[in-house]
C-alpha cells in the first residue's frame, strides 16, 4: 500500500477563494501613505525622469492629488516642499508662508479630516548644501543647533495644520525636542512619526532628483550604516522613550529584517518607506517586460506589511488602492435555477458600494 503524506497544506491553496480565506496578511488602501512633492513656482507638473509617473506638483495639482487620495481612502499624504530659494540654515522651511507650510494649509482646507496630512520635518530640501541640518565651521552637521531649528519647524508645521509631523533628519534627541516644542506651543494633539531607523542608503538616488537636492558629500555621519542591526533597535527605543507616537524604518524592502525587529519591540504603529530606488527598479524591470508590474508591486507591499509594518509609504499608494478596489469589487450574483423568488435586501445606506471603501469621486 502506498504511503501518502499525513499533512497536505496544498488543500488550502486549491482555489483563489480558499487562498483569500486563509491569507495571513492583507492590504487595504488605509495601509498606504502617498509621498508627494510640491515645488514652488511651477505652472505645470514636472516629471521626475528617474521615477516614471511621479511628478513634482504645482500647488494646484497637489490639491487634486490630495482629493484623489482622500477619495481612495489612503492612510495619509506625506508632503515634501521644494522652495525657489535656499540658504545655509534652510530658512524657507521655517517660514509660515513657505512652500511646504502654505501647502499644508491648502491641502487641509481641501480634504479636511478625511485624510491625515503628514509633513516631512527636515532641512535638507531647504538648505543650499543639502544636509539635514546646519553646518559647523568644520563643515559637519551641528546636531544641537539643528535641534533648535527642528523645534521651530515643528511648531510652524503644526500651526499650518499638519496632522502628523515626521522628523527625518536622524539627529540625536530630535523627538524629545520636538515634543517639548509642540506641547509648549499648545499642539499637544499633534503626533510625531519618527524616522527612527533611517539608513544611509544608495536606494535614495532618485529622491535626490525629486527634491532637486543640493547635497555635497553624504549623510553617513548621521544616518545609519547598512551593516548594523542591533543599532536600529537602540535608535527606536530612544525615540519611543522621547515620546514618538509612531516609528519608521527606511528603506523598506532591503531592510525587512530591521522592520521585523522593530515591530517586535515597538508598542506603537510602525511604518516603512518603500523608497525612490525601490520604485525605480520595479519600473525599470517592468518597462523591459522582465516582471509583471502589478504583481510585483502588490507582492512587495504585502511583504513589507508581512514583516510588521502597520503602514507603508509608497509612490504606488494611489495606484495600488485602485487595484485593491478592483480586486474586492463584489462579484455579480450567481443566477440559480429556482422557482423561489429571492428577497432583495437593501444595501447599507452609509456607503456607495459593498467593497467597504469610500466611493471615488
Q: Which active-site residues does the annotation give?
A: 198, 250
What is d(CA 99, CA 160) in angstroms, rounded to the nearest whole number?
A: 11
Candidates 90, 94, 347; CA nearest to 215 is 90
Provide the grid cell at 57: 506638483
Query: Pairing state of beta strands 164-167 and 76-82?
Result: unpaired
What is d(CA 135, CA 119) in angstroms, rounded to the nearest whole number?
A: 23
- DSSP characters over 287-308: HTTSS-HHHHHHHHHHHHHHTT
- The separation between CA 88 and the C-alpha centre of its own chain, rounded to angstroms, equals 28
203 Cβ contact list (under 8 Å, min separation 6) = 251, 254, 275, 276, 277, 278
- The separation between CA 121 and the C-alpha centre of its own chain, rounded to angstroms, equals 14
**Cα angle 219, 223, 227; round to 5:** 115
Which class for 52: exposed (0-12), middle (13-18), buried (19 or more C-beta within 10 A)? middle
Whether residue 172 contacts residue 143, with contact meaning beta carbons closer than 8 Å, is answered with yes
- The separation between CA 194 and the C-alpha centre of its own chain, rounded to angstroms, equals 12
Candidates 295, 245, 294, 293; CA nearest to 271 is 245
244 Cβ contact list (under 8 Å, min separation 6) = 175, 192, 193, 194, 196, 268
Helix, strand, coil percentages in the chain from 3-state DSSP, rounded to 5: 40, 15, 45
What is d(CA 322, CA 55) in angstroms, rounded to the nearest whole number?
A: 19
Amino acid at each position: 500500500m502506498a504511503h501518502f503524506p499525513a499533512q497536505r497544506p496544498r488543500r488550502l491553496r486549491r482555489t483563489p477563494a480558499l487562498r483569500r480565506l486563509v491569507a495571513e496578511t492583507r492590504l487595504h488602501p488605509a495601509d498606504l501613505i502617498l509621498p508627494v512633492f510640491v515645488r514652488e513656482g511651477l505652472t505645470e507638473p514636472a516629471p521626475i525622469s528617474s521615477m516614471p509617473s511621479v511628478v513634482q506638483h504645482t500647488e494646484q495639482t497637489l490639491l487634486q492629488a490630495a482629493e484623489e487620495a482622500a477619495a481612495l481612502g489612503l492612510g495619509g499624504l506625506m508632503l515634501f516642499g521644494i522652495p525657489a530659494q535656499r540658504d545655509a540654515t534652510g530658512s524657507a522651511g521655517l517660514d509660515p508662508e513657505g512652500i511646504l507650510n502654505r501647502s499644508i494649509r491648502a491641502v487641509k482646507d481641501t480634504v479636511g479630516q478625511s485624510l491625515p496630512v503628514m509633513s516631512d520635518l527636515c532641512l535638507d530640501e531647504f538648505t543650499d548644501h543639502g544636509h539635514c541640518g546646519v553646518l559647523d565651521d568644520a563643515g559637519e552637521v551641528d546636531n544641537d543647533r539643528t535641534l533648535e531649528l527642528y523645534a521651530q519647524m515643528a511648531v510652524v508645521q503644526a500651526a499650518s495644520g499638519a496632522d502628523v509631523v515626521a522628523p527625518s533628519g536622524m539627529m540625536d534627541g530630535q523627538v524629545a525636542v520636538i515634543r517639548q516644542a509642540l506641547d509648549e506651543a499648545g499642539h499637544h494633539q499633534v503626533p510625531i512619526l519618527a524616522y527612527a531607523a533611517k539608513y544611509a542608503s544608495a536606494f535614495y538616488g532618485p529622491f535626490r532628483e525629486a527634491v532637486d537636492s543640493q547635497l555635497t558629500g553624504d549623510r553617513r555621519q548621521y544616518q545609519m550604516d547598512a551593516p548594523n542591526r542591533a543599532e536600529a533597535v537602540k535608535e527606536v527605543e530612544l525615540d519611543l522613550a522621547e515620546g514618538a507616537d509612531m516609528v519608521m524604518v527606511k528603506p523598506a524592502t532591503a531592510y525587512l529584517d530591521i522592520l521585523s525587529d522593530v515591530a517586535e519591540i515597538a508598542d506603537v504603529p510602525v511604518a516603512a518607506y518603500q523608497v525612490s530606488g525601490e520604485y525605480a527598479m520595479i519600473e525599470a524591470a517592468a518597462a523591459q517586460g522582465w516582471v509583471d508590474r502589478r504583481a510585483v508591486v502588490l507582492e512587495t507591499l504585502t511583504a513589507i506589511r508581512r514583516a510588521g509594518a502597520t503602514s507603508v509609504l509608497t509612490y504606488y499608494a494611489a495606484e495600488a488602492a485602485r487595484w485593491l478596489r478592483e480586486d474586492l469589487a463584489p462579484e455579480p450574483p450567481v443566477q440559480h435555477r429556482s422557482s423561489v423568488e429571492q428577497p432583495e435586501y437593501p444595501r447599507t445606506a452609509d456607503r456607495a458600494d459593498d467593497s467597504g471603501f469610500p466611493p471615488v469621486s
